[in-house]
Structure 1
Amino acid sequence: MKRPASPGAPPEHARTGARSLVEHTTSALTAVALLTLVFIVGFLVTHAASSPALASAMPAIYAGLIASSLVLVRKWKQDWNARRAGQAGAAHMAFRDPVTQLLNAEGFADALARYAPKNDDAEGSLAILCVSLGRLKDIYDRLGESCGDEVLRDLGARLVSAFGDDASVGRIGEDMLAVFHPASSGIKLALVGGQINRLMDLPVATPGGDVIVPSAIGVNFVDMPVTAPRDAIRQARLANSAARASGSGLAFFEASLDHAQRLQMDLEIELRQALQAGELQMVYQPQINETGATIGVEALMRWPHPTRGQVPPAVFVPMAEAAGLGEALGRYAMDRSFADSALWPGLKIAINVSPIQLRSPTFIATVKTLLAQHGVKANTFEFEITEGVLLEADTVVLGNLEQLRRMGFQIALDDFGTGYSSLSYLGRFPIDKIKIDRAFVTPLGLRSDASSIIRAISDLSEAIGVKVLAEGVETRSQLDILRAEGCNQAQGYLIGRPMQPGQITDLINAPASDIDSARAA
């Protein structure tokens, strides 16, 4: 969302440098002219005594030189003042956001550090608010830069108007505004009562129509004077993150948020180390067909932390993606799965692929490198994607999916039915299999409509030539109903829990009667 320079215009620093050069040159020339006049006066005074004609002309010459000197002194003073004013203006703008003219992050922190109450009656604490603006990037993308800038200015003006002269308002991030204000009872009531949220959520008029920018507010109360402004702002940001995560729109900073962030930072460092040291493990959950034979496995990543125990994937996978480790984590999973696949030549290995990987222009090159490195064939593997990938698919994602299909990989649509399910996905995108989410499997035998949903999905899959597999199968009754309704592939705790590679080898080598007995038990 940065404002690009005008086409053909020189960079701002170049224009500033050129102006500075001109100003300094003009000032230097003025100074040289003054020195020249001083030299001329000295020369004339020295020679006037020996020349009567020159002595008689000296009063007029002196008058002209004095007038010229006064003009030059005045010009030099003007140049000096202009340069001082320019420097002050540049220093002022260094603390301002160029779009909104509000304080920028540096200026906001500086103002917070220097703040002092205007009267002795003011309370001894400040409320620092961080206001995140949802969908702002979409507005820039859809309506253009000028409309996006106008929306930002409008929202900033609302905060300035709402808090008055006692507050300072800044833009401290691309999609985040900030305010600090004496923590009066009125401000506290306005926050708790949702008045600030409602103000920010009012529609903004644009040439493209009214737009709504959902906001979330994080609040941190700090004592005056604020001796660590950046830390105080960081804590308000943490509260903002909590407000967004909870969906409440408002959260106040608590020490537990700081502890949670420090814990997350520690975990992130330890995850990086675990990736580099190869300490993450792959386990595999078996998948069966209508005869009960194991036909494939889903590769799942586990992190056995040496002191924290098993860290759930629901914790470390989002953390890795937020920390920029998404591609590294995905490569690690493919590398291990490709290596382990040599143990089971007849099985299909399903590997989860994240949107981050599919949006990467280097993803296909990475896959080809790993295939060659391990000497395995693409048709041995199946990549599982989520519906969200298809919803946000761009040309890079679609190109990567098409190339994977041409290489021989199969594509499975995971968690089918829980997101933005649309029949158009199955016709528009290269899908080979859909995986029915456990949410539709758990009610089987308990709700009358549950079987009908499975039948509808199975009939659809058969009609378009797409395989279907049910996840989360935990009872024999669920498996029997699935088969009766046309879903012949299954995965879940009834079939087998995630296993170490050696356990999968034992499973596929075990007699079928032993496997059936174990599942019946």
Structure 2
Amino acid sequence: MQRQASLHHIIGTYRLVFAGVAGLVLVSGVIALLGYFTDPRAIEMVVVRVLVGASLLLLLRWGYVRLKQELNSAGAEQRQLLDLAYRDALTGAHTRSYFFSALSESLRADDRPVAYMQIDMDNLKVLNDSHGHAAGDAALVHLVKTLKALLPDALVGRLGGDEFGIVLVGQDSKPALVRLGDRVLATLGQPISIEGRPIRLSATIGVALWPQDAAEADELISKADLALYKGKKEGRASTVAFESELMADERHKRFVERDLRAAILLNELELHYQPIFAADATTPVSHEALVRWQHPVRGQVPPGDFIGIAEQSDLIDKLGDWVLRRACADRKRLGTPTVGINVSVVQLRRADFAERFSDILMESATSGSHLVIEITESLPLKTGTVELRNIEALRGLGVRVAIDDFGTGFASLEYLRGFPFDIIKIDRSYVANLPGSRIDGLIVSSIAKIARSLKVEVIAEGVETTEQLQFLQRAGVTALQGYLLARPEPLRSPRFASAA
């Protein structure tokens, strides 16, 4: 920038000098011509002065042209540098800072309505873990190309790893924007070749309008983000427009998060323990710890209402640590060799999870062999990920690993082949229709047979009828859990009094 300003200054000086020399040549010529009428030899002076002046003018002209060329070159170089500064190197979308600045400027400078769309790739981490980061990068590049092709007049910016923003000026119809977003998603859903493999991409889009939904850029972004979150929660791969009801949901979420934080600090939570029985349905072999929250004002808060909120913040770590400490403290009163606790995939993604787990075991003087961690089948498999490193570290402490809700999540057979596990827990959805469903019966029997071949335990969840129990016993499951046998109860219940 300074170099370009300097060149502009020099060119300005050249122009002044050029004009000055031209003026001097003209004046000298006029004076010499006037002198000719009194002295004929003065014509020689005219010729000499004109030649010298012309030479100077040609020299100045050459220097001016060279400087102009250099200035143009510097301008092109500067434009290239600015483009690099304002463009994401991978995707070609605008950078976050430039995009937000341009969005704010659009709201200030234009009286027309402005639509803001926020798009987030679904399961990009799964793609990275399954096919490598090069595949994930290719997916992001394809997304931006799709956006530019379908929305040529839009401003597209990369906000984060897999999150992008879109600004459309002059758009004020939410139904039309939802249709436009769905068109983008349909195009993304068409198979493309990445790393030689056919892959279908998926994304979720949130939409908000200015000035209809927000007065400022920050508020506009926040409301599109709320709509995006709703789309993620409702199953992904959709376009959701902001509605005022979402603010009520957001306020509820904040209240729950605030109160849950206080409940953890004040020790207001409680664990209920549900026994897991041997195949004879009478001998308890373990217990599953289930967190319960009795709110002083709202009463019993279902786990489904606060676990997901905890996973969106650091509360899941605090909640998980509390559950582990409480289970370790209660274990001896349960009367079974082991106690199982549920561990979120979010917890496993923390680099220090295994270390904190080990520290709590040491604090409570509990051997890892008394613990089972239950992991829902939603964790993508890839050697070397922080999740698998944490699991392997816990197994090194003697902790056993159970795949919870088996058959409902991510690549069941892949789990059996590559996941370091000790126990399979068959999801209750396969048990609910037994013995009437032939397909569910075949699935349950097959899982039990595979588990025996792998020499791992298999537990059937959700046993609620005698007919289900008898079928599962014939199928060869090694353990049973469900309301037919026992409901979850707190440690203060009479069931545990004899073990105290």
TM-score (norm 1): 0.70
* Change in 2 beyond 3 A, CA 1:308/1:141: same
CA contact (8 A) 2:129 2:382 kept: no
* Change in 2 beyond 3 A, CA 1:79/1:266: farther
The answer for the alignment partner of 2:158 in structure 1 is: 171
Report Cα offsets for 1:394-443 as digits up to 9, x if no partner: 45444444443443333333223333565674565543332222223222
* Change in 2 beyond 3 A, CA 1:102/1:336: same
Q: Give the residue type in structure 2 aligned to 1:370.
A: I
Aligned-pair distance for 1:313? 1.7
* Change in 2 beyond 3 A, CA 1:334/1:183: same
TM-score (norm 2): 0.73
The answer for the alignment partner of 1:127 in structure 2 is: 115
Distance 2:405 2:257 in 1: 27
Aligned-pair distance for 1:159? 3.4
Other structure's SS at 2:373 match = strand
Q: Give the residue type in structure 1 aligned to 2:373.
A: F
Other structure's SS at 1:379 match = helix
CA contact (8 A) 2:4 2:75 kept: no
Aligned-pair distance for 1:335? 0.5
Report Cα offsets for 1:429-482 as digits up to 9, x if no partner: 543332222223222243356555544444444444333322212223333333
Aligned-pair distance for 1:345? 4.9
2:305 corresponds to 1:318: no
Other structure's SS at 2:378 match = helix
2:454 corresponds to 1:479: no
The answer for the alignment partner of 1:159 in structure 2 is: 147
Other structure's SS at 2:488 match = coil
Q: Give the residue type in structure 2 aligned to 1:278.
A: N
Report Cα offsets for 1:228-247 as digits up to 9, x if no partner: 11211221222222233334
Report Cα offsets for 1:248-286 as digits up to 9, x if no partner: 521111011122123213322322222222222111112
The answer for the alignment partner of 1:339 in structure 2 is: 329
CA contact (8 A) 1:190 1:196 kept: no
The answer for the alignment partner of 1:372 in structure 2 is: 362
2:204 corresponds to 1:216: yes
The answer for the alignment partner of 2:255 in structure 1 is: 266
Other structure's SS at 1:502 match = coil
The answer for the alignment partner of 2:169 in structure 1 is: 181
Aligned-pair distance for 1:302? 1.4
The answer for the alignment partner of 2:102 in structure 1 is: 111
Distance 1:417 1:103 in 2: 42
The answer for the alignment partner of 2:226 in structure 1 is: 238
Distance 1:345 1:280 in 2: 22
Other structure's SS at 1:468 match = strand
CA contact (8 A) 1:151 1:204 kept: no
CA contact (8 A) 1:268 1:320 kept: yes
Aligned-pair distance for 1:339? 0.4
Aligned-pair distance for 1:334? 0.9
CA contact (8 A) 2:273 2:489 kept: yes
Aligned-pair distance for 1:380? 2.5
The answer for the alignment partner of 1:252 in structure 2 is: 241
Distance 2:187 2:499 in 1: 66
Report Cα offsets for 1:273-308 as digits up to 9, x if no partner: 222222221111122231613332111111222223
The answer for the alignment partner of 1:50 in structure 2 is: none
2:301 corresponds to 1:288: no
* Change in 2 beyond 3 A, CA 1:146/1:404: closer
Distance 1:212 1:498 in 2: 42
Q: Identity across aligned pairs (percent)?
A: 32
Distance 1:509 1:205 in 2: 60
CA contact (8 A) 2:361 2:367 kept: yes
Paired residues for 1:11-160 under 5 Å: 96-115=87-106, 125-136=113-124, 152=140, 155-160=143-148
Distance 1:270 1:151 in 2: 40
Distance 1:139 1:474 in 2: 38
Moved more, 303-312 or 481-490: 481-490
Distance 1:390 1:356 in 2: 12
CA contact (8 A) 2:172 2:209 kept: no
Aligned-pair distance for 1:25? 13
Other structure's SS at 1:257 match = helix
CA contact (8 A) 2:377 2:412 kept: no
Distance 2:357 2:333 in 1: 20
> Which residue of the other structure, out of 342, 349, 356, is the alignment partner of 2:339?
349
Distance 1:143 1:470 in 2: 33
Distance 2:339 2:473 in 1: 23
* Change in 2 beyond 3 A, CA 1:448/1:508: farther
Aligned-pair distance for 1:336? 0.4
Task: List gaps (5 residues or longer) in structure 2.
Answer: 11-52
Distance 2:228 2:151 in 1: 19
* Change in 2 beyond 3 A, CA 1:81/1:131: same
Aligned-pair distance for 1:373? 1.8
CA contact (8 A) 2:368 2:397 kept: yes
Aligned-pair distance for 1:137? 5.4
Q: Give the residue type in structure 2 aligned to 1:279.
A: E
